[in-house]
Structure 1
């Protein structure tokens, strides 16, 4: 199970630490946060104790209205479960009572910037935790964003993946990762492709060496991540190995239980492989919109024969 520390979360979101400074190495393992509501009135049957707890204006206003003794009981019931941390999004005014409980129980208490509403902060935090804690694997290949569509290029070493990626970059598409592609499973339908930080913005070309695509072609040549829509396997040319069917059926490659449509493109001198990848990406998009060129062609043939 992947984990991140409260300290890393505080640093990423510029959170102010007002209690539990010695406990910032506590681990966060759950990818969604929780706003305690029913828990304040004593209902703990489904309390997600391992999630980050968010206290917004609604929760803090409620606590302020309670008597000192009642507030002590309400908060005490929650801190008893030792969640990884509390984040207050309603400012740090008059939080002495909450600070006392967090210090006593060794729970980090953090405060977010006042400029961001709780309703905006929570989705941003959820998205960050989802990516950071997502199951991941590393695969050998190249990841590109072609016309807004995430493409994973695979193939044997030396087949021409990076060279093809370079051609695509020159045509205005974006590199995500070269050589090592990190795949993150965000849901049962979604695989995110990204880099491993060390290779960020770099493309390795045989006979040329290492290129920084951002320095060479500008910021538009690179993006940090992309949702993988197509898995394209580049192979060496074999005569009669592929058939010119009207409608090529997708095969699928399984990545951590998520099936990604997969096609094979053979390389041969003079063949516009980058153009074929562009065509594959755009054709995939049209199929998602419900359009099939083969079906339209067959309809036209059928209409001609019936006249």
Structure 2
């Protein structure tokens, strides 16, 4: 199923549909756009027909200098069976040759009042967001002090209960149970809740609660960049857990590595406070303050000083 169709672009950018209405369900498969200047000059060897085509003032000014026969041939060359659509910018008049060719091939031709460069920017951002690689992860996503924290762990370990405590402490819920994640950039993962369960939190024994209704609009947000993963697991007596914090573990989601911490769960541990502090410590590390490294350096200096005194 196509993620983006021409009709989505028409609705989002309030475009005027000029011709080729039969093709408004054509899918858009790439966020790359094309301004077919070379093609209007007659060079179609590398024509990216699968891209959305934008015709601005430069292209139309050149087009007006062509003969009628050339104009017809060039517009017919632009309208291919895989071309999702053609947008004429700046509210310019759409050439009759383009309308005729688009009707024949059912290629939607649209018109926008926006400047070409501005429309290119907005369209690229929109398409990259919609066409970004996506996945879904079982967990809870919380915005803690501006840090997007994805809490993972086996079912029943206490993820939702911890999220509820964090919301009560003033942090914001993004998604519970299922987190939809899209990779918007090479190192940027953005998570959001499926529409069906947005703003909802499931607490065993209590049921479904609406966080926005109970705690207000300030307790939720629609999406958040994921910066830290905290995996909750039941305490294992014989397992060695990191007690200093020098070793940094990562988890790969799609093509991005995210810092991961493993927090053991046992009675008496306040998970909400631990996760809150983990988020604050993560922010400190990004600002260049690493408590574990500072302690390690102090320890090494103390050992070196002790050895020197013995000598």
State the distance in 2 between where 1:10 and 1:141 align: 35
| Alignment-derived partner of residue 131 in structure 2 | 133
1:12 maps to what in 2? 12
- Contact 1:60–1:90 (Cα < 8 Å) also in 2: no
Unaligned runs of 5+ in 2: none
Show the counterpart of 2:59.
Answer: 59
**Structure 1 pair 160/167, CA: closer, same or farther in 2 (3 Å)?**
same
How far off its partner does 1:237 sit? 2.9
What's the offset of the Cα at 1:135?
2.7
Q: How far apart are 1:220 and its partner, in Å?
A: 2.4
1:97-126 superposed Cα distances (whole Å, 9 cap, x missing partner):
3222211221011223x2x43323222222
Unaligned segments of structure 1, at least 5 residues = none
How far has the Cα of 1:263 moved from its partner?
A: 1.2
1:82/1:105 contact within 8 Å kept: no
**TM-score (norm. length: structure 2):** 0.86
Mapped contact 2:5–2:26 kept (Cα < 8 A): yes
Matched, 1:124 2:119: no
Give the direction of change, closer, same or farther, for the CA distance of 1:88–1:168 in structure 2 (3 Å limit).
farther
Q: Determine if contact 2:199/2:210 at 8 Å carries over to the other structure.
A: yes
8 Å contact kept, 1:18–1:99: yes
Partners of 2:214 and 2:87 in 1: CA distance: 42
Largest Rg, 1 or 2: 2
2:49–2:80: 8 Å Cα contact kept in structure 1? no
Conservation of the 8 A alpha-carbon contact between 1:33 and 1:122: yes
Residue correspondences, number: 305
The residue that corresponds to 2:142 in the other structure is: 144
| CA distance in structure 2 between the partners assigned to 1:221 and 1:57 by the alignment | 47
Q: Please, what TM-score do these two structures have when normalized by structure 1?
A: 0.87
Indicate if the aligned counterparts of 1:172 and 1:221 stay in contact, CA closer than 8 A: yes
Whether contact under 8 Å (1:214, 1:222) holds in the other structure is: yes
CA contact (8 A) 1:2 1:135 kept: no
Q: What's the RMSD between the two structures over aligned residues?
A: 2.6
Q: Does 2:290 align with 1:295?
A: no
CA shift at 1:202, angstroms?
1.3
CA contact (8 A) 2:88 2:94 kept: no
Structure 2 CA distance for aligned equivalents of residues 107 and 139 of structure 1? 38
- 1:144-191 deviation digits (Å, cap 9, x = unpaired): 222222221111112111111122222332222111111223344333
Structure 1, 64-73 or 225-234: larger mean CA deviation: 64-73
